[in-house]
């Protein structure tokens, strides 16, 4: 056995971080219990720095704690779990070998493509926005049926894998053992795949549907019926359909990686068509380049948008200003946190922070349930859940004009654009798991957790708005229509508001960290040459690059455009997901033969019974 993270440098860093966390924590707690302390003693920017020091030093200390591992087992394996281990090379070797370890096409096109877009956004802002908008309108309005159809097929295929005979296939062979315990497995995938979107949209989406009801239900705005319709569509956009997009990319990758020996890349879904030896062709590289662009664009814009939510919370709670430098400080601090987490590897930072995230998620949910208007939440939530179940199929097939294009199709495109990053990570974690377990965890368990969150948070916000206890929609309008403010007037109207806001701010940071550190690791794996594990230098580069893109989005105001471009990659991946399912079906029928074929099982059972009953031999 050997110990990772026990070097003199890391011991020094850990010893330095602990007192910083304690001292900053004293300031943060003082600010919550004595609000006048903020603004009079500590400025807005100072409060932001102290908050980041508190959260950042605590999470970084946790990420850098040492872990023991088996050297012989690690050196002998070159599979997906091995690629999740970051190689900590000497700095001289890291810098010297950085370029030689990168795939020139994936690295060059990935970095160059995003940099070129940002340059165009600065040099030709109006033309860039117009071009992106035109493509987006065509994709969402004219080709919306592609996303709707692909998502329906994704759900159907997931249900087949869940209950059908192929679900019994163990990834990696019958003797393969899972690398992680099930709670860790669930926590890492759930927190990576949902990002801070669940925090960002949890208190807001149902309110928008309440104000402008979905045409599918044909109800009056801000009526009792609109409450149920709003909750139902929030569940629909964040429930089973959404998570199924990850499964139809992740399961094919996992199957071809563990059953066919394909490399841990998104392009491995093309294995049945190209063969493992030809995945380095231009078709394979095209898929991987799209995955890199979608991941960096999607996560970087999420970092930028979440920074606005966090800063809005500070401004709303304490009435302090943080100036133009505030968003840059936040993104810089957040970048340091998730780079340290990603650099420490899955077994240290990513795994531990995901666990903290899940604990905070559950704690916040229980606390909110305890102080929320439970009768209204339970009543409307039960009705909405029943409506979601009974109307799932017609809602999935509904193509009702601009509203569906702006909400449902946009959401499906966003989920498909995140599918390569989340699917690859799911595949990397799933060695030793049965396909049925992967689907249950990645689609059923995750969507159940998300549904409970939206029922609780969305139901509470709707109850307070509908009863007139809080004017959350008014606060959103006051802040220029920004949904980032929605949670704060909601919590201010409830008991224990200070504690709720504190936990909410913590969830914002932890949720985006668990996605940004994972996306950094995934992009590093994709851009590194095949069969080479990522190094510290590559992790730092991609993590900083992701942060730089987020800062650029904030400074040049191109967040919506970059997000739209990232979402546009959801179109190709919606089609690629269908290709992946065709390839997976062909491969399983060929590889598993009679062992997993439903028809073969029926025939075998019939022959075992014989014409006069079961055989004795």
- Give 275-280 contacts, CB < 8 A, sequence gap 24+: 280/530
Radius of gyration of the chain from its Cα atoms, rounded to whole angstroms: 24
**Residue predicted with more confidence, 82 or 465:** 465
273-318: per-residue pLDDT in tens?
999 999 989 999 999 999 998 888 888 888 887 887 888 877 777 7
Q: What was the pLDDT predicted at 1?
A: 55
**Residue predicted with more confidence, 11 or 575:** 575
Q: What was the pLDDT predicted at 297?
A: 82
Nearest to 266 by CA among 108, 105, 427, 446: 427
* Domain map (residue ranges) of the chain: 77-529+556-591
CA distance 499 to 27: 15
Residue 600 has pLDDT above 60, yes or no: no
Average pLDDT, the chain: 86
Task: Identify the band that residue 58 occupies on the pLDDT scale cut at 50, 70 and 90.
Answer: very high
pLDDT (average), residues 337-346: 90
CA distance 574 to 415: 9
**CB within 8 A of 308, min separation 6: which ones?**
327, 482, 484
pTM recorded for the entire structure: 0.90
Crossing angle of the two packed helices 570-592 and 559-568, in degrees rounded to 10? 30
Q: What was the pLDDT predicted at 80?
A: 58
pLDDT (average), residues 28-53: 74
Task: Identify the band that residue 409 occupies on the pLDDT scale cut at 50, 70 and 90.
Answer: very high
148-193: per-residue pLDDT in tens?
999 999 999 999 999 999 999 999 989 899 989 999 999 999 999 9
Angle at 159 between CA 156 and CA 163, to 5 degrees: 145
Task: Identify the band that residue 66 occupies on the pLDDT scale cut at 50, 70 and 90.
Answer: confident
223-262: per-residue pLDDT in tens?
999 999 999 999 999 999 999 999 999 999 999 999 999 9
Residue 351 has pLDDT above 60, yes or no: yes
């Amino acid at each position: 056995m050997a110990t990772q993270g026990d070097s003199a440098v890391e011991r020094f860093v850990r010893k330095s971080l602990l007192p910083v966390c304690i001292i900053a924590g004293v300031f943060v707690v003082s600010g919550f219990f004595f609000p006048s302390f903020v603004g009079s003693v500590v400025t807005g920017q100072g409060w932001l720095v102290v908050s980041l020091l508190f959260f950042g030093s605590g999470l970084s200390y946790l990420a850098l704690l040492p872990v023991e591992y088996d050297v012989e087992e690690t050196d002998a394996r070159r599979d997906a779990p091995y690629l999740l281990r970051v190689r900590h090379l000497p700095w001289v070797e890291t810098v010297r070998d950085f370029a030689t370890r990168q795939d020139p096409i994936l690295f060059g096109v990935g970095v160059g493509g995003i940099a070129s877009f940002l340059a165009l956004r600065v040099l030709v802002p109006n033309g860039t926005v117009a071009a992106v908008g035109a493509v987006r309108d065509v994709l969402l309005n004219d080709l919306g049926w592609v996303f709707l159809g692909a998502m329906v097929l994704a759900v159907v295929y997931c249900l087949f894998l869940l209950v059908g005979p192929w679900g019994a296939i163990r990834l990696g062979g019958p003797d393969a053992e899972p690398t992680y315990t099930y709670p860790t497995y669930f926590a890492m995938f759930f927190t990576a795949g949902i990002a801070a979107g669940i925090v960002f949209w949890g208190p807001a989406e149902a309110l928008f549907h309440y104000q402008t009801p979905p045409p599918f239900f044909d109800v009056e705005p801000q009526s009792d019926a609109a409450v149920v319709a709003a909750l139902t569509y929030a569940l629909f956009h964040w429930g089973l359909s959404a998570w199924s997009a990850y499964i139809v990319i992740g399961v094919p990758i996992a199957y071809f990686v563990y059953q066919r020996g394909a490399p841990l890349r998104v392009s491995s879904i093309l294995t049945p068509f190209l063969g493992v030896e030809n995945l380095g062709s231009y078709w394979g590289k095209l898929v991987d380049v799209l995955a890199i662009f979608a991941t960096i664009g999607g996560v970087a814009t999420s970092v930028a948008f979440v920074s606005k939510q966090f800063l809005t919370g500070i401004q709303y709670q304490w009435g302090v200003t943080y100036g133009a430098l505030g968003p840059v400080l936040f993104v810089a601090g957040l970048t340091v946190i998730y780079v340290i987490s990603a650099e420490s590897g899955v077994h240290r930072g990513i795994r531990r922070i995901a666990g903290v995230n899940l604990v905070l998620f559950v704690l916040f949910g229980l606390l909110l349930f305890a102080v929320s208007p439970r009768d209204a939440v339970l009543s409307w939530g039960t009705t909405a859940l029943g409506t979601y179940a009974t109307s799932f199929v017609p809602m999935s097939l509904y193509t009702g004009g601009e509203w569906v294009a702006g909400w449902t199709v946009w959401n499906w495109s966003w989920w498909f654009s995140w599918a390569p990053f989340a699917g690859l990570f799911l595949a990397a974690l799933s060695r030793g798991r049965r396909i049925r377990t992967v689907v249950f965890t990645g689609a059923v368990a995750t969507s159940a957790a998300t549904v409970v969150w939206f029922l609780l948070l969305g139901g509470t916000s709707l109850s307070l708005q509908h009863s007139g206890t809080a004017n959350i929609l008014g606060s959103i309008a006051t802040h220029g229509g920004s949904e980032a403010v929605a949670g704060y007037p909601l919590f201010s109207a409830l008991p224990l508001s200070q504690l709720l806001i504190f936990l909410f701010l913590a969830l914002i940071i932890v949720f985006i960290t668990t996605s940004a550190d994972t996306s950094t690791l995934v992009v590093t794996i994709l851009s590194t040459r095949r069969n080479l594990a990522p190094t510290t230098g590559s992790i730092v580069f991609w993590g900083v690059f992701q942060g730089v893109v987020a800062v650029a989005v904030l400074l040049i105001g191109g967040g919506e455009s970059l997000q739209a471009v990232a979402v546009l990659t959801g179109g190709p991946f919606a089609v690629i997901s269908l290709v992946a399912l065709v390839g997976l079906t062909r491969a399983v029928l060929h590889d598993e033969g009679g062992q997993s074929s439903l028809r073969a099982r029926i025939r075998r059972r019939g022959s075992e019974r014989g014409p006069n009953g079961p055989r004795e031999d």
